Amino acid sequence: MKLFLVFLLFLVSAVECLPLNDKGPSELIFGGSKASRGQWPWHVFLDIATTDGFTFCGGTLITKRHVLTAAHCLQIMRSGSVAILGIVDSYTPHNTTGAQTIGIESLHIHPNFTFGGSFHDDIGIITLKSEANITEYVKTIKIKSKDDDLLSSTEAYVTGYGAYKNGWYQIGVSAFVVENEQKMTDQATYPGVFTRASKYCDFIAEKTGDEFQCL
């Protein structure tokens, strides 16, 4: 289960950065374990068509028609990309019984994001061509606008399909994380970087046509 980006929208504590590791690619996220279907039903597999072929990212289903993900994934996305819901195995995403494959209607990248620069404002919204069918394996998630109370917790969950092979970077969108200017601009030193989704509640509401509202 390999994916070079990690995304989640439901943390229970701040994510700490992890040191660089000179080992080869890992099958799992650092210290992770294999998920079962339905355990993280809002996680979305993005099968991304690019000018050079295909790659993939993760995302989170926030309404039946909207996926929250990182802007740097949307920057390279071309026609033919799809969102696949209800899977846990990225090797056979199109062959999972009950999986839902939905085309992408439009993309919304945060206007302040600069591709190839720092990871500030690295957030975007996908509008799907049709609504997802809510099932045991496919569900939406909520985001708290005032999440400081969660910072006192000592555990966090990160969902994804593995780690990026070059430098073990973990870059994604999270429900909340302690922000740090240096970590957001120096990926070589701080590979664990996440965008605090609650900071962008207004952007998310606008790009979903107010279908999604932070709590």
Dihedrals phi, psi of 152, to nearest 5 degrees: -80, -10
Are 162 and 2 in contact, with CB atoms under 8 Å apart? yes
Structure-model confidence comparison of residues 146 and 126, the more confident one: 126
Residue 165 lies in a domain: no
Q: What is the pTM of this model?
A: 0.74
What's the pLDDT score for residue 121? 85
Residue 107 lies in a domain: yes
Q: Tell me the mean pLDDT in the region 19-25.
A: 39
Residue 48 lies in a domain: yes
Residue 147 lies in a domain: yes
Task: Read off the tokens for 136.
Answer: 């045991």
Q: How many structural domains compose the chain?
A: 1
Structure-model confidence comparison of residues 208 and 162, the more confident one: 208
What's the pLDDT score for residue 154? 61
Per-residue confidence band for 212, with pLDDT thresholds at 50, 70 and 90: very high
**Domain coverage including residue 90:** 43-157+194-207
Closest CA relative to residue 173, chosen from 126, 210, 213 = 126
What's the pLDDT score for residue 162? 57
For 34-70, what is the HEC assignment? Answer: CCCCCCCCCEEEEEEEECCEEEEEEEEEEECCEEEEC
Dihedrals phi, psi of 58, to nearest 5 degrees: -110, 165
Per-residue confidence band for 12, with pLDDT thresholds at 50, 70 and 90: very low
Model confidence pLDDT, tens digit, residues 62-71: 999 999 998 8
Among 93-97, 117-121, 206-210, the least confident range = 117-121
Residue 15 lies in a domain: no
Residue 54 lies in a domain: yes
Q: What whole-number distance in Å separates Cα of residue 116 and Cα of residue 101?
A: 30
For 109-150, what is the HEC assignment? Answer: ECCCCCCCCCCCCCCEEEEECCCCCCCCCCCCCCCCCCCHHH
Structure-model confidence comparison of residues 94 and 136, the more confident one: 136
Closest CA relative to residue 45, chosen from 12, 2, 10, 108 = 2
Write the CATH number for 106: 2.40.10.10
Structure-model confidence comparison of residues 49 and 26, the more confident one: 49
Q: What's the length of the chain?
A: 215
Model confidence pLDDT, tens digit, residues 143-159: 888 777 766 666 667 77
Residue 33 lies in a domain: no
Residue 127 lies in a domain: yes
- Asked if residue 175 has pLDDT above 70, the reply is no
